[in-house]
Amino acid sequence: MKLKNILLMALVSLLLMGCVGVSTNNTDSNGNVLINISNHPLITQDFLNEIALGTVEGAYVVHKFGANDDIGTTIEPITISGFYRTPTAPTSLEIVSNNAQDSATGTGARKFKIIGINGSGNEVSEEVIMDGTTPVSLTNQYLRVYRYYILESGSYATQTTSSQLGTITIQEIGGGDVWSQLNLVDGGFGVGQSEIGVYTVPKGYNCWLLKKVMSVDSVKTANIYFFQRQNITKTTAPYSGMRLVEKHIGISGVEEINSRSAIARFPELTDVGFMGETATGTAQISVEFEMVCLDNTLYPVT
């Protein structure tokens, strides 16, 4: 572990941002030393690398990507299904395919992992065995679902054989509103991973936006909006307003924005993500963004 580098970063933080405490006396279940840099750690590449290695207590990096292949003149989320459901109450969900082979013994998708936010605002996840065209109820209730992907398949995937054979749908229990769909692309190839250009900050964390990439069909233009909405668990009016963070007009091709410092901070229980529209016709739009998230007890914001 790069303990020397971490201590050097803490020293730089002390010089640039005031009092910073460093503790190196915590260990994980395997006996590895965990670094705890109190208050405001300087976000450097070394610091991000240490987070990725799991050596920084109470910190993680989230990388999100999404796509929408048919955005028109009406603004909508940049997700492959065009949805990001945001109810005020936790909801019971189910997962189903339109192909019988996406099942426990089939040649398609057998097991999925689903990740989201529950009614208390905490991140929850579960693994679900598929049952083809018969819906399978999820164990948790969800306020948000922002990632899901295939864990197991009945086929050894290749460039011509995908791990899913049908369109996979997450919907409200009993065949209700669709929350997300894992579509087949390019003539029927399954990608096996949700494409949701939205994230919700779990309870107990602050997240800082570090990077974003936006892509539009090179022969078309689109407007792309980055929004936030705080206090998602508040169930009575007045609610927190949905606010524009950044706006990018007339994007064509690829635009990438990196920052040596955090672009913006988002507190716990905040939806953050992209929406888009075109002036005329339709366009394919994809986005990526990266955030570093820190436990707000270990790293309080003053």
SS3 sequence of 21-83: CEEEEEECCCCCEEEEECCCCCCCHHHHHHHHHCCECCEEEEEEEEEEEEECCCCEECECCCC
Report the distance separating Cα 148 and Cα 164, nearest Å: 13
CA Rg, the chain, in Å?
Answer: 21
In this structure, what token pair is assigned to residue 86? 């945001």
In this structure, what token pair is assigned to residue 277? 């529209």
The pLDDT, as a whole number, for residue 157 is 95
Residue with tokens 């990507």: 65
Check pLDDT > 90 for residue 9: no
Check pLDDT > 90 for residue 27: no
Residue in 8, 20, 44, 68 with CA at minimum distance from that of residue 210 = 44
Over residues 254-269, the mean pLDDT reads: 84
Task: Report domain extents, the chain.
Answer: 3-57, 62-78+198-295, 91-190
More confident residue, 41 or 296: 296
Highest-confidence segment of 23-27, 195-199, 294-298:
195-199
Over residues 195-212, the mean pLDDT reads: 96
Query: Amino acid identity, residue 68?
Result: N
In this structure, what token pair is assigned to residue 147? 């990632």
* pLDDT per position as a tens digit, 115-167: 999 999 999 999 999 999 999 999 999 999 999 999 999 999 999 999 999 99
Query: Amino acid identity, residue 230?
Result: Q
Over residues 99-113, the mean pLDDT reads: 98
Check pLDDT > 60 for residue 255: yes
Which range, of 13-17, 26-30, 48-52, averages the lowest pLDDT?
13-17
Q: Provide, rounded to the nearest whole percent, the portion of the chain with pLDDT above 70.
A: 84
The pLDDT, as a whole number, for residue 45 is 75
- The CATH classification number of 62-78+198-295 equals 2.60.120.1330
- Cα-to-chain-centroid distance, residue 211: 14
Over residues 164-179, the mean pLDDT reads: 96
The pLDDT, as a whole number, for residue 54 is 86
Report the distance separating Cα 65 and Cα 287, nearest Å: 6
Report the distance separating Cα 13 and Cα 5, nearest Å: 12
**135 upstream amide cis, omega within 30 of 0:** no
Compute, in degrees rounded to 10, the torsion defined by CA atoms 254, 285, 115, 30: -10
The pLDDT, as a whole number, for residue 36 is 46
Over residues 254-280, the mean pLDDT reads: 89
The pLDDT, as a whole number, for residue 253 is 94
Report the distance separating Cα 113 and Cα 149, nearest Å: 6
The pLDDT, as a whole number, for residue 102 is 98
Q: Hey, is 6 helix, strand or coil?
A: helix
Task: Give the chain's mean pLDDT.
Answer: 86
| Main-chain dihedrals φ then ψ at residue 2, nearest 5 degrees | -85, 65
Check pLDDT > 70 for residue 29: no
The pLDDT, as a whole number, for residue 246 is 92
In this structure, what token pair is assigned to residue 20? 């910073």
Which range, of 37-41, 89-93, 199-203, averages the lowest pLDDT?
37-41
Give the residue ranges of DSSP H helices in the chain.
Answer: 3-17, 45-53
The pLDDT, as a whole number, for residue 46 is 80
* pLDDT per position as a tens digit, 67-88: 999 999 999 999 988 989 999 9
